[in-house]
């Protein structure tokens, strides 16, 4: 049984959730998100009662098999993230450390100098805003999945190394340092 899937998801007053078959659209003050779900999970939106209660979303499994149970909590988390994202955008920060490493934004592209013989250019996808101040890169967007995957893709360009700590790391990430070679 999924603990996350069994919980009711409350819909805030400023958010509107619509269902069209297996496609859900969440509209809020920051934007609109749309996602399609498989029909293994029954998702119902309950209208508020006359006592002023807010709308809720309930999820139930259609079949009692392992695959449906695995999707139950996942779909509940996706819906919660969509509702939270249209109210307050998600934000991730990267720190670029190292002598000569630079980052800047030119139009809809991030330009990096990462110690290679060529500059590294990354296009910023639609729905994401990025800022680069000195060597701090901030990525913001309403889709949690898109923000996380784009940030991970940028970090993979120059992962932090354990000897000097050079590279790109998350703001709250701690790099375990190793001791270098000892000379006799």
**pLDDT tens for residues 19-54?**
898 899 999 999 999 999 998 889 898 877 655 567
How high is the pLDDT of residue 53? 61
What φ, ψ does residue 169 adopt, rounded to 5°?
Answer: -135, 160
Q: Would you say 70 and 59 are in contact if contact means Cβ atoms under 8 Å apart?
A: no
pTM higher than 0.85? yes
pLDDT of residue 131: 95
Instruction: Classify burial at 42, counting beta carbons within 10 Å of its beta carbon; exposed 0-12, middle 13-18, buried 19 or more.
Output: exposed
Across the range 54-71, mean pLDDT stands at: 88
52-73 mean pLDDT: 86
Work out the percent of the chain whose per-residue pLDDT is above 70.
96
Q: What is the torsional sign of CA 129, 132, 133, 136?
A: positive
Give the mean pLDDT of 87-105: 94
CB atoms inside a 10 Å sphere around CB 151: 23
Task: Say whether pLDDT at 98 is over 70.
Answer: yes
User: Can you give the pLDDT at residue 111?
Assistant: 95
Residue 6 has pLDDT above 90, yes or no: no
Phi, psi of 37 (to 5 degrees): -120, 155
Assign 134 to helix, strand or coil.
coil
Mean pLDDT of 159-178: 92
Report angle CA 158, 144, 120 to the nearest 5 degrees: 25
Q: Do residues 68 and 41 make contact, with C-beta atoms less than 8 angstroms apart?
A: yes
Whether the pLDDT of residue 2 is over 90: the answer is no
Token couple for 162: 């354990």
Instruction: Give the separation between CA 10 and CA 57, rounded to whole angstroms.
Output: 7
Here the tokens at position 176 are 């375990």
Q: Which domains does the chain have, with CATH numbers?
A: 3-87 (3.90.930.12), 90-170 (3.90.930.12)
């Amino acid at each position: 049984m999924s603990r996350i899937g069994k919980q009711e998801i409350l819909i805030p007053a400023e958010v509107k959730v619509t269902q069209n078959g297996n496609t859900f659209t969440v509209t809020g003050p920051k934007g609109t998100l749309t996602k399609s779900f498989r029909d293994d999970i029954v998702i119902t939106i309950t209208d508020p009662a006359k006592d002023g209660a807010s709308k809720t979303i309930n999820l139930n499994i259609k079949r009692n098999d392992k695959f449906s149970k695995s999707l139950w909590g996942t779909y509940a988390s996706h819906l919660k993230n969509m509702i939270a994202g249209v109210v307050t955008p998600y934000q991730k920060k990267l720190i670029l450390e190292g002598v000569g490493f630079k980052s800047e934004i030119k139009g809809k592209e991030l330009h990096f100098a990462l110690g290679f013989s060529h500059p590294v250019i990354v296009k910023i996808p639609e729905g994401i805003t990025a800022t680069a101040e000195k060597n701090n890169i901030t990525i913001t967007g309403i889709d949690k999945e898109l923000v996380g995957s784009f940030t991970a893709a940028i970090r993979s360009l120059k992962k932090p190394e354990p000897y000097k700590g050079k590279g790109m790391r998350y703001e709250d990430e701690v790099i375990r340092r190793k001791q270098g070679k000892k000379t006799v």
